[in-house]
Amino acid sequence: MTISARNHAHSPLNIILVEDDDGDAKAIRRAFEKARIANPVRRCVDGVEALDFLRGKHEAPPSNYVMLVDVNMPRMSGLELVREVRRDPDLRKAIIFMLTTSRDDRDLDAAYRENVAGYVLKQNAGRDFIDLITTLDHYWRVVELPQMSRSRATGQSGI
């Protein structure tokens, strides 16, 4: 099953996974497979690569997407990435969920100050993670995603 955003019924919702750990990235992909979600998943290994991708530095980014972002990564952390996304007028409306091992209340508070859609502990992976993926499936089907301004890099409309 491929999930389409409600207001983009003919276009599958892309998932941008920003995760530096290969094992965690594989576990997340397996969870999507187990939940029978076949949406395109683009993995970036850190915030720098994710920003380059979103800004169309090497290729045109997808027109509609949800981001799943790890907090602790090299070069640019997930929180730094979210801050940069929120400052960019072409990206600031992105829907972002944080995936993390950090139970630090400072990270949790910082993430919600940047208007993330959710903060999910990786320790709740496994069956609970399948429940999360199913919840995201329902979320994507019922919410209206914002329209983003035209991309500077590609001239294409964003979400």
The pLDDT of 132-136, averaged and rounded, is 72
Would you say domain 6-142 falls under CATH 3.40.50.2300?
Answer: yes
pLDDT at 158: 37
pLDDT of residue 148: 57
Predicted local confidence at residue 80, as pLDDT: 97
Query: Two tokens at 140?
Result: 């994507």
Do 119 and 98 meet the contact criterion of CB atoms below 8 Å apart? yes
- Go through 124-157 and write b for each residue having 16 or more CB atoms within 10 A of its CB, e for each that does not: ebeeebeebbeebbebbeeeebeebeebebeeee
Tell me how many degrees the CA angle 32-14-48 measures, rounded to the nearest 5.
100
Read off the pLDDT band of 153 (50, 70, 90).
very low
Domain ranges (residues) in the chain: 6-142
Nearest Cα to 68, choosing from 119, 24, 17, 123? 17
Displacement of CA 77 from its chain's centroid (Å)? 14
